[in-house]
Amino acid sequence: MELLLATAIGAITATGIYLALRSRTFELVLGMTLISYAVNLFIFAMGRPVAGRAPILREGVPTTLEHYTDPLPQALVLTAIVISFAMTAVLIVVALKLREVSGGDHVDGGDPAGDSGRERGDP
């Protein structure tokens, strides 16, 4: 299971970085979203997650790590998920604004290829 988790996180990271390195704003947003998945999973994994030990305390069960997983990484990740949502929203809006200002969707503004604007016109 550890190996599966580790490779999955690595794969998400790699895909995220590859997409973030592309020249279009949409891909950048996709890449950043993937990277935030990977980072959240990474932090979560640092708490040594196991199945079936949700940190919801039950009466009569000793409050040790034998019976519950570490709640702290979960708390950190929970807020991180929500913040990354807000960041995605901001990124999208910036991309739209860039589009409005420069007419293209190249990450640096402008559109060296100059074809996407035309492409948009004819569906």
Question: Rule CB under 8 A: is residue 101 a binding residue for other proteins?
Answer: no
Question: Rule CB under 8 A: is residue 110 a binding residue for other proteins?
Answer: no
Question: Rule CB under 8 A: is residue 58 a binding residue for other proteins?
Answer: yes
Closest separation between CB of residue 9 and other proteins, Å? 5
Q: At what angle do helices 25-45 and 2-20 cross, to 10 degrees?
A: 160
Dist. CA 9–CA 64, nearest whole Å: 28
Residue reference for tokens 């996180």: 9
Q: How far is CA 111 from each of CA 21, 24, 61, 95, rounded to the nearest angstrom?
A: 16, 9, 62, 13
Question: Rule CB under 8 A: is residue 52 a binding residue for other proteins?
Answer: yes
Binding mask 81-100 for other proteins (x = CB under 8 A): xxxxxxxxxx-xxxxxx-x-
Tell me which residues in 13-42 interact with other proteins (CB under 8 A). 13-30, 33-34, 37-38, 40-42
Residues written for the chain: 123
Residues 11, 60, 102, 103: which binds other proteins (CB under 8 A)? 11
